[in-house]
Structure 1
Amino acid sequence: MSGSPTRVGAVYDAIRDEVLTGGIPPGTKMKLADYSERFDVSLSVVREAMSRLAEQNLLQANPQRGFSTLSLSVDDLHELTRARIIIETATLRESIARGSLEWEAFLVGVHHQLAATPMYLDGAINPRFGPAHRDFHAALLAGSDNTHLQSIAASLRDRSELYMFWSRTLGEPADRDVACEHRELADLTIARQPDDAASALARHIQRTTDILVDYARTHHADH
Structure 2
Amino acid sequence: MAAKERASTEVVHSRMRADVLAGVYSPGEKLKFADLCERYAASVAVVRESLTRLVEQGLAVSEPRIGFRVTPLSLEDLLDLTATRCDIEGLALGHAVDRGDVEWESRLVAAHHVLERTPLLADDDPPRVSDQWEAAHAAFHAALIEGCGSQRLLCMTESLRDASELYRRWSRPFDKDRDVAAEHRGLLEAALARDADLAVTRLRDHFGRTAEILQEHLIDRTDEDDTHAQDRPGARA
Give the structure-2-normalised TM-score. 0.74
Aligned equivalent of 2:182 = 180
Q: 1:216 aligns with which of 215, 218, 222?
A: 218
Alignment of 1:109-128 (within 5 A): 109-123=110-124, 125-128=129-132
The answer (yes or no) to whether the contact 1:81–1:209 under 8 Å persists in 2 is yes
Aligned equivalent of 1:85 = 86
Q: State the Cα distance separating 1:35 from its structure 2 match.
A: 6.7
Amino acid at match of 1:100: D
Q: State the Cα distance separating 1:206 from its structure 2 match.
A: 0.9
Amino acid at match of 2:157: A
Aligned equivalent of 2:50 = 52
5+ residue gaps, structure 2: 227-237
5+ residue gaps, structure 1: none
- Verify: 1:163 aligned to 2:157, yes or no: no
Amino acid at match of 1:182: H
Q: Percent identity?
A: 37
Flag the structure with more relative contact order, 1 or 2, with Cα contacts below 8 A and sequence separation at least 6. Answer: 1
Aligned equivalent of 1:70 = 71
Q: State the Cα distance separating 1:106 from its structure 2 match.
A: 0.9
- Verify: 1:145 aligned to 2:149, yes or no: yes
Aligned equivalent of 1:205 = 207
Over residues 145-193 of structure 1, what are the superposed CA-to-partner deviations in whole Å (9 max), with x where a residue is unaligned?
A: 2333222222222221211111114xx2221111221111112111212
Q: 1:218 to 1:193 in 2, by over 3 A?
A: same
CA separation in 2, counterparts of 1:53 and 1:125? 24
- Verify: 1:130 aligned to 2:134, yes or no: yes
Amino acid at match of 1:132: A
Over residues 51-83 of structure 1, what are the superposed CA-to-partner deviations in whole Å (9 max), with x where a residue is unaligned?
A: 535523433344553432211122122111111
The answer (yes or no) to whether the contact 2:51–2:68 under 8 Å persists in 1 is no
The answer (yes or no) to whether the contact 2:12–2:50 under 8 Å persists in 1 is no
RMSD: 3.4
Q: In structure 1, the residue corresponding to 2:68 is in which secondary structure?
A: strand
| Higher Rg of the two aligned structures | 2
The answer (yes or no) to whether the contact 2:86–2:207 under 8 Å persists in 1 is yes
Count of aligned residue pairs for this structure pair: 216
Q: State the Cα distance separating 1:220 from its structure 2 match.
A: 1.3
The answer (yes or no) to whether the contact 2:28–2:73 under 8 Å persists in 1 is yes
Q: Choose 62-71 or 157-166, whichever is displaced more.
A: 62-71
CA separation in 2, counterparts of 1:117 and 1:201? 21
Q: State the Cα distance separating 1:116 from its structure 2 match.
A: 2.8
